[in-house]
Amino acid sequence: MHEKMSPYYSPCPVETALNLIGNKWKILIIHDLMLGKRRFGELRRSISAAKKQSISQKVLTQNLRELEDAKLICRKVYAEVPPKVEYSLTELGQSLKSVINSLESWGEYYQGMW
C-alpha cells in the first residue's frame, strides 16, 4: 500500500477510473487534447462548441487543475508577456486514447439508432 493514497483511488477499478475522468467536462478536455497541445482559450472554445453550451472559465480551470493533479495532463507556462500557457496530455493521459475512442464509437452507434 502506498504511503499517500490517491484521492481518486477506490477498491473498484471502474470507480477509480470514473473518479478520474467521470464528468462530462474532463472527458471532453481529454478528447480535445488527444489532438495536440491547446491553450486555455482554445480549449474553452472547442469544448463549448462540442457541447453547444459554454463552459465557464471557473469550471474549466477547476477541471484542468484536477486533471493536472491526477497526472493526466501537463501545464506548461512560457516566460512571455502576455503569459502563454499550454496544456497537453501526459503519457498517462495518452493511455486513455483507446478508452475515449471506444466511448466515441459507442456514442456514434447509439446516435445511429435514432
pTM, entire model: 0.88
- Per-residue confidence (pLDDT) for residue 64, from 0 to 100: 98
Q: Which residues of the chain have pLDDT under 50?
A: 1
**φ, ψ for residue 6, nearest 5 deg:** -65, 140
- Per-residue confidence (pLDDT) for residue 105, from 0 to 100: 95
35-64 residue pLDDT tens: 999 999 999 999 988 777 889 999 999 999
- Per-residue confidence (pLDDT) for residue 69, from 0 to 100: 95
